Structure formats: structure tokens, C-alpha cells
Amino acid sequence: MSASASASAPRRAPGSRAAAAPGRSRTVRIAPLDGLRGLAVVAVLLFHAGHLEGGFLGVDLFFVLSGFLITGLLVEESTTRGRIVLTAFWARRARRLLPALALVCVAAVLLAWTFGSPYVLRFALDDAPWAAVQAVNWHFIVEQIGYWNASGTRVFAHLWSIAVEWQFYLAWPVVVALAGRGRHGHRRGHRRVAALAGAGALVSLALMLRYGGAVDTTRAYEGTDTRAFSLLLGALAVTAPIRRLLARVPAPVADGVCAALACGIGAAWVLTGGQNAPCLFRGGLFAHSAACAALIGLLARNAGGRAGRLAGSAVPRTLGELSYGLYLWHWPVYLLLPRPVLGIGGWGRTAVAIGVSLLAAWVTKVLVEDPVRFRARWTTGRRGLLALTAAVAVAASVWGTVPRPDPGAGTVDVERLITP
């Protein structure tokens, strides 16, 4: 949801056909991967609206994409420079993720105060600090807040996946930095990264098998350790051994395989009957992530093929570029939007909710995400420090001054209990 579909490449970007002079680095945009992100966010939006029972699998596609893109950048940096500057990497991730997240967290609390029931506001205030420190998934797990039946009253329920990604971004770069040392494409370093990604994915699968049999599957579904296999399979797909393997697939064959994989993934989204689907936590999520990793690897390698051009066409690519903000905004909008809207419900309400979410995502991208990410003048130096201080002060004051409802105040609005 967060990594942009690009890779930094000195010679050849991971999964890209573009080349640059040795020793120089540039960013190559991989349009089909932006398109996949757009399709994934559509699946999640339809799932949360109650129109696509298996649409929650779009989150796994997000995870695999993030693992693929982030590891590609890390491996390239390790190969060309001989080391990874971890502080610079984390600073880039913070610039990419945190400004929009902070804005949505503050706005969601204010909107819950204005439009939500006392339950919604109380839970928003309880969950906001955990969302702010990117640990809301473990907050829900420790407090035994069942994801599948309680999130209809929690405006930050969807941020569990952002927390998983952030925790991965903290840990995995250290692993790659230690394992991937070596200059100019040192094969041992690439093989070590591939081996660790593959082994880590299998350990994560074992943990999901262990926890997936519980009556409440929140621990298996939201745990960073149990969901790491999706990110690690994406990481594996961008390593040199797998890229060399994919390079042997002729372009026409790759197109056919991409079509088959896309159809299989789409069928899973349509046919999976929610969290109670057989085998979902018994290897189904792992198989889905593996298919996503194969599709991503092939599309990145053959971006100019028919499948790549279709995935990277204007509509899915544009949605992909807005996907992070769209994901952040859509659930608070869904939860707090009146039911019905202007006398319409069902697909009509969904269309209005998506339209509002798209507008909010576009405004956030133009006014917050892009200026911070690309270092507009007001985001750097002393001005940037003042802006950061002001943002922290506003967030803290909103959380501290919004009146907390009494524990017994209000009733749960059953109509709002949309199972995400």
C-alpha cells in the first residue's frame, strides 16, 4: 500500500528492462505494478462495502508488492554501494507513510466526534495512539479485539496492515544489509538474501498454521509474524536467483502465464467466502501470495507485453498511484457516512463512499504526500522542523481535548457493523 512501483537501478532495475550507465542510479517506473496496486485497492474497497467476499485478499497483493519493491531497492543499493544506509532508508519510508497517516488519524478522530456514535468515538480515541506508533495490529491482538466482528465500530481497524508493513520496513532492511553485503552484484550476497527470504516465508507459514485453527483468527490474520510470508515472497521474487529464472521464460509464454495467474487470483477474490473459507489459514493465503509473487515478477520482467500493458493501462495505474491515500481514507468514510446517503443505499451508497474517498485521497496526495515526499521547500530545513512540530502538536491536542464518552454511553449502531 505504501511502496511506489519503482526501483532504483544502476544497470538494470529489478524487474525492469530499462538500463542506465554503470555506477549511476535512477528511478524506473513499472506501470503494471502500479496497475496491480490499483486493482488490489478496488478489491479491498468492494470487500469492505460488502460486495466482494474475497476482496480482503487484495491486502496480500499489497504486501507482496511492498516486499518486492522495497527489497529491490535495498538489494540494488547494497550491490552498487557495498552497503545500505539504513537511516536514509527509514527516513524515506517515514516521508512516504507518516504524513498522510497522521492527517487521516487526526481527521478520523474529529469525524468520529462529529458524526460517530459514542462507541465509535471512544474506540477511536483508544486506538489512535497505537495507530500513531504503527502497532495497532498488536493492540487488537493483545486486547482480543476480533477483527472480523468488531471492526464495524473502529475507524482504525484497517490500519493493521499498514502497521505490519511498517514493522517489516524496520526489520527486513537490517537483514538485507547484513546478508547482502558485496559490490557489483556479488552472488553470495544475493543468494543469502534469497535464502533468508524463502526460509522466513516458510517459518511464517508454520506460524500461521499454528494459530490459524483458533475460533478467532485475528491472531493469525493480523500478526506480523504470521503475515510476513506475503512480504517475504515478494522479496524472494526480486532476488537475483529468481530474476535469472524468470529471464529464461520467453515473452509469449510469460504473457500466457501472467494471464493464467491473473485469472486464478481474480477467481480467488470472487469465490473465497470470507474468513471462514476452507483452507484459508491452512495454506490458502500462502498459495495466493505465491501466485501474486509470480505474477509480479513476470510482469516486472515483461512490462511491455500484452499483460503488462493491460495491467499498466490508465485507470488501474491511476488508482494505484492514489492507492495509499485511498486505502487510508476509505474505511473511516465507509463507517461514518450516513446510511442511506441521499436516500440511496447498496451500490449507490458504495459509489458515493468511493467518490468521497477518491477525492480525499487526491487532495491528500497533492497537498501532503507529494510535497513531503519530494521535499517541497516548506518540508525541509527549519521550515520542515517547524511543520513537523506543529503537526505533532495538533495531533496531540486533538487526541487530548476531544471529550471521551462515558464507557456506558450510547449503543452500537448495528447498521454500521460492516464486516471488513
pLDDT digits (tens, 9 = 90+) for 84-136: 999 999 999 999 999 999 999 999 999 999 999 999 999 999 999 999 999 99
pLDDT digits (tens, 9 = 90+) for 177-223: 998 765 544 677 888 999 999 999 999 999 999 999 888 899 999 99
Confidence band, pLDDT 50/70/90 cuts, at residue 23: very low
**Residue 19 exposure: Cα atoms within 13 Å on the Cβ side:** 2
Cell 524463502 identifies what position? 198
Q: What do you get for the CA distance between the two ends of the chain, in Å?
A: 17
Give the rounded distance of the alpha carbon of 316 from its chain centre: 16
Predicted confidence (pLDDT) at residue 24 exceeds the cutoff of 70: no
pLDDT of residue 198: 97
Q: Considering only 145-154, 168-177, 254-263, which range has the smallest mean pLDDT?
A: 145-154
Predicted confidence (pLDDT) at residue 15 exceeds the cutoff of 60: no
Confidence band, pLDDT 50/70/90 cuts, at residue 3: low
Domain ranges of the chain: 6-416
Predicted confidence (pLDDT) at residue 355 exceeds the cutoff of 90: yes
Confidence band, pLDDT 50/70/90 cuts, at residue 413: very low
Confidence band, pLDDT 50/70/90 cuts, at residue 11: very low
- Rounded Cα–Cα distance for residues 330 and 43 (Å): 12
pLDDT digits (tens, 9 = 90+) for 25-58: 344 678 999 999 999 999 999 999 999 999 999 9
pLDDT of residue 2: 67
Task: Over range 158-163, report the average pLDDT.
Answer: 96
Of 123, 135, 102, the residue nearest 395 (C-alpha): 102
- Rounded Cα–Cα distance for residues 7 and 312 (Å): 16
Of 165, 154, 163, the residue nearest 131 (C-alpha): 163
* Local structure of 213: helix, strand or coil: coil
pLDDT digits (tens, 9 = 90+) for 123-147: 999 999 999 999 999 999 999 888 8
Q: Considering only 163-177, 195-209, 363-377, which range has the smallest mean pLDDT?
A: 363-377
Q: What is the mean pLDDT of the chain?
A: 87
CB 62 within 8 A of CB 3: no
- Rounded Cα–Cα distance for residues 306 and 258 (Å): 10
Phi then psi for residue 26, to 5 deg, are -150, 170
Confidence band, pLDDT 50/70/90 cuts, at residue 18: very low
Confidence band, pLDDT 50/70/90 cuts, at residue 400: confident
CB 291 within 8 A of CB 299: no
pLDDT digits (tens, 9 = 90+) for 274-331: 888 889 999 999 999 999 999 999 999 999 999 999 999 999 999 999 999 999 999 9
Task: Over range 260-266, report the average pLDDT.
Answer: 97
Residue 234 amino acid letter: G
Burial class for 313, CB neighbours closer than 10 Å (0-12, 13-18, 19+) = middle
Q: Considering only 128-132, 229-233, 401-405, which range has the smallest mean pLDDT?
A: 401-405
- Rounded Cα–Cα distance for residues 307 and 303 (Å): 8
Q: Which residue has the higher pLDDT, 375 or 358?
A: 358
